[in-house]
Amino acid sequence: MTMSYDFMDFIREFSQAKSVAVLTGAGISAESGVPTFRGKGGIWEEISIEEVATISAFETNPVRVWEWFLDLRKTFKNCSPNSAHTSLAKLEERFDDFTLITQNIDNYHQEAGSRNVVELHGNAWWSRCWSCGARFEDKALGFDSLPPRCDCGGRLKPDVVFFGEALPIGELERAIQAAQRCEFMLVIGTSAIVAPATSLPYCAYQSGGKIIEVNLEPTGHSSLASLSLFEPATKALERIVEAMGLD
């Protein structure tokens, strides 16, 4: 049975926690102006997943995938972290064990100051060689020719997880471990649709962690939540930070 909190009861108990995990999805960056992938007005309403975001698409038409991906990088470049991102960086300073697990690839958590970030789906500003496996930071918004090439001659792939690819095992293991040991998990701006990220709140709940949901509307995680804040992430996290005296 999920115990329900009022907001200040949550703050009092949350302030005493030693281990906290956070799971973020596209909703946290939507307030920065970044379109979400799913839902009304989302990226997948404009273009098909199969055309630009599957591993088979990259194998058969890497030029088209890179054209779309460079446009996505430009979108990220033209936007910036918002106060929800910076509030999470402030919370990290407060707790002994704080793990931020994100499904996002925009790098905004790091830009806002978060340090212990688990990137389940990779990072848009890194590339990996399809041939030799070399991985490196890549801030390019354009190339002389596509697909870009590694020094070894192999084609470069954005270092993000396309549909049809497995998640990086090391990052997934870190996320599961953080979920299993946390006293609280904040679940922010995620649709509760994309596996295996959607299983992490269940993992935390089954291990005794309390789920605090921040989203504009109920999701599949709402039944687990001790407290649901159905409001923008910026507003909810600013309230939490202020109540804890961290602003």
Encode pLDDT of 95-109 as tens digits.
999 999 999 999 999
CA distance 233 to 188: 7
pLDDT at 1: 36
Same domain, 145 and 133: yes
Same domain, 50 and 156: yes
Encode pLDDT of 182-195 as tens digits.
999 999 999 878 78
The parent domain of residue 136 ranges over: 35-78+128-160
Q: Mean pLDDT across the chain, nearest whole number?
A: 93
- Total domains, the chain: 2
Same domain, 28 and 144: no
pLDDT at 45: 60
Helices 83-94 and 233-243 pack at an angle, to 10 degrees, of 30
Give residue for tokens 């949901």: 213
Same domain, 66 and 3: no
Same domain, 184 and 240: yes
CA distance 231 to 7: 13
Taking phi over 0 as left and psi of -120 to 50 as alpha, with beta for the rest, 236 belongs to alpha
pLDDT at 81: 98
Please identify which of the residues 85, 109, 121, 221 carries the catalytic annotation: 121
Q: How many CB atoms lie within 10 A of CB 78?
A: 10
Same domain, 133 and 238: no
Percent of the chain with pLDDT over 90: 86
- Does the annotation count 221 as an active-site position? no
* DSSP structural state of residue 208: T
* CB contact at 8 A, 191 and 39: yes
pLDDT at 22: 98
Same domain, 5 and 111: yes
pLDDT at 153 over 60: yes
Same domain, 142 and 21: no
pLDDT at 5 over 90: no
Lowest mean pLDDT among 36-45, 158-167, 184-193, 238-247: 36-45
Percent of the chain with pLDDT over 70: 95
CATH code for position 182: 3.40.50.1220
Q: What is the pTM of this model?
A: 0.94
Same domain, 241 and 156: no
Same domain, 39 and 28: no
